[in-house]
Amino acid sequence: MPITPASATHSSSNGTADAILLELVDENGVTIGTAEKLSAHQPPGRLHRAFSVFLFDERGRLLLQQRALGKYHSPGVWSNTCCGHPYPGEAPFAAAARRTFEELGVSPSLLAEAGTVRYNHPDPASGLVEQEYNHLFVGLVQATPRPDPEEVARTAFVSPAELTERHAKDTFSAWFMTVLDAARPAVRELTGPSAGW
What positions carry a catalytic annotation?
83, 132
Report the distance separating Cα 56 and Cα 85, nearest Å.
21
Report the distance separating Cα 187 and Cα 131, nearest Å.
24
The residues facing 34 across adjacent strands are 23
Phi, psi of 66 (to 5 degrees): -100, 120
Q: What percentage of the chain's residues is helix, strand, coil (to nearest 5)?
A: 25, 35, 45
C-alpha separations of 127 from 29, 34, 68, 156 in Å: 25, 21, 18, 27
Q: Which letter does DSSP use for residue 86 in this model?
A: P
Coil vs helix vs strand at 139: strand
Coil vs helix vs strand at 41: helix
Number of residues written out for the chain: 197
